[in-house]
Amino acid sequence: MKPAAQRSSAVDHGHRDRKKESQMKIVVVGANGNVGSRVVGSALASGNEVVAYVRRPETVSPRPGLTVAQGDAADSAGLAAAAQGADAVVVSITGSMKDATFMQRHLPAILDGVRQANAGRVVLVSVFGAGDTAQKASGFARLIYRTVLRKFLADKAAADHLLVDSGLGYTIVYPVNLKDAPEASAATVKPLDEVREVPGLPTLPYPNAGAAIATIATDPAYAGQRVLLTSAKGWKSF
């Protein structure tokens, strides 16, 4: 089964957890970030149990259905405790653009924590332009990726490979440029092998990205897939 060509920005209620018919447990690593905080809000709004795994718990507002767990991405034991019984673990962290090894340093411990907890699928928020996704970008975008963002994107690509090679269940999400703006029309989620080109430099508001990633985390149809997350017109098919 493949995901629909275009998803609503709301979380899909069609799939239900085997353990709890109307609820899944979602752990969000980096839950106080621009994307992670929106994933938390969207997953909660759909009635899911959410664990926000953050270094500074005071940065996350308490809400019904939300558990805030203090921990660092490098602390596999701490994440393992927080992820017990989790159906999905969303990883939404990023380092400085100048840090060429941030994800490679931090993702292994996260994967160890997921493995220790025997948790469900890892949903890794990567970035469009990392690895082979750059081949689908416009000429101008590829120039930026090869120069200004080269080391940052190489780190993201290396992390993507670490996850694929880990043996854990996964989905890798490749968002286009994200921006701080009010929610717009629904985001488009497409398997990478169905995308011929991403023209120009499409942008997507953080709320749309967060809602779409929450949907991906709760929808088992995305298991084992690498998907583009873009605007309605920000892609072309074969």
Q: At what angle do helices 36-45 and 206-218 cross, to 10 degrees?
A: 60
**Domain span holding position 73:** 25-237
pTM: 0.91
Residue 18 lies in a domain: no
DSSP3 helix / strand / coil % (the chain, rounded to 5): 35, 20, 40
**Domain CATH for 75:** 3.40.50.720
Residue 90 lies in a domain: yes
Number of domains in the chain: 1
Written as one string, the DSSP assignment of 181-236 is ----SPPEEEEGGGEEEB-S--EEEHHHHHHHHHHHHH-GGGTT-EEEEE-TTS-E
Q: How far is CA 127 from CA 20, 64, 102, 174, in A?
A: 32, 31, 14, 4
- Per-residue pLDDT of the chain in tens (238 residues, 90 and over written 9): 333 333 333 333 333 334 444 589 999 999 999 999 999 999 999 999 999 999 999 999 999 999 999 999 999 999 999 999 999 999 999 999 889 999 999 999 999 999 999 999 999 999 999 999 999 999 999 999 999 999 999 999 999 999 999 999 999 999 999 999 999 988 999 999 999 999 999 999 999 999 999 999 999 999 999 999 999 999 999 9
Residue 17 lies in a domain: no
The H-or-E segment that residue 25 falls in is strand 25-29
Residue 74 lies in a domain: yes
Residue 214 lies in a domain: yes
Residue 9 lies in a domain: no
Residue 10 lies in a domain: no
